[in-house]
Amino acid sequence: MKLTKVEELEKMAKQVRKGIIEAVYSNQSGHPGGSLSVADILTVLYFKEMNIDEKNPNWDDRDRLVLSKGHCSPALYSCLANRGFFPVEDLKTFRNINSYLQGHPDKNKVPGVDMTTGSLGQGLSAANGMAIAGKMDGKDYRVYCILGDGEIEEGQIWEAAMAANKYKLDNLCVIVDNNNLQIDGTIEEVMSSYPIDEKFRSFGFEIIKIDGHDITEIIKAFDVAKNVKGKPTCIIAKTIKGKGISFMENQVGWHGKAPNEEQYIQALQELEEK
């Protein structure tokens, strides 16, 4: 199910956010804040940008996505479910001991997941490998890797960035979800990674800066990235943690906390009104 109109994508992003809230509320566990901040980006990827087939999740020529910030799996699962990889109803089993929808994505259990992630900092290395394999095999698929702005404090990210430049991985697109909050506070308070754009540029990346909640800007950024040759691209998406839910927005406390019943009802009501 491909969506081409901005209005359709905005409507789907709302459905994705509902799925995030349903998942985290159902088993009273998970990470809503960062899932909500990356929801618009993932919606554009899964419903417009990526060449994928929900009936054939392991199709060799598919585009790949690595959600390196794996704790934000509710956003990924909600996109996959709404795209038709598995039933939307299964989102309510999220983090249940008997569910295949674990707290972090598992490519061996969840249809449509391209990489098992969760240990922060490792996803870009895996994405590099996929991009290198694509070039070696003469494939034209693209690889997308979503990083958290707190996650890029990990040293392995910069080792991987050097490798992406060395191998001229123009089939690789990195997206930094720059919501400025991580589990212990703001990025500046914990270990500032700013200026993010200058750092990635110094490692040989093409830089694109966008509003990560503006569907039109997101679409244009991916169009530009596809035309970059000879080097990888990094899209720095300025976002709001908890976006779409008034009491969660820009609140570090919602990094890894589930809403109670009253908050759950309010969250769904707000999404309906929007």
Which domains occur in the chain, in start order? 6-273 (3.40.50.970)
Mean pLDDT rounded to a whole number for the chain:
97
**Residue 112's pLDDT band (cuts 50, 70, 90):** very high
Whole-number pLDDT of residue 229: 98
> Which tens digit of pLDDT belongs to each residue from 40-91?
999 999 999 999 999 999 999 999 999 999 999 999 999 999 999 999 999 9
The kind and range of the H/E element at 143 are: strand 143-148
Percent of the chain predicted with pLDDT > 70: 100
Tens of pLDDT along 157-170? 999 999 999 999 99
Q: What is the pLDDT of residue 140?
A: 97
Q: Give yes or no for residue 250 having a pLDDT over 90.
A: yes
69 Ramachandran zone, left/alpha/beta (phi>0; psi -120 to 50): beta
Q: How crowded is residue 260: how many other Cβ atoms within 10 Å of its Cβ?
A: 11
| Mean pLDDT of all residues in 190-217 | 98
Element (H, E) at 20: helix 6-26
Residue 1 pLDDT: 80
Q: Which two tokens stand for residue 152?
A: 């890029």
pLDDT attached to residue 274:
75
Stretch 93-115: mean pLDDT? 97
Residue 129: Cβ-neighbour burial (10 angstroms; 0-12, 13-18, 19+): middle
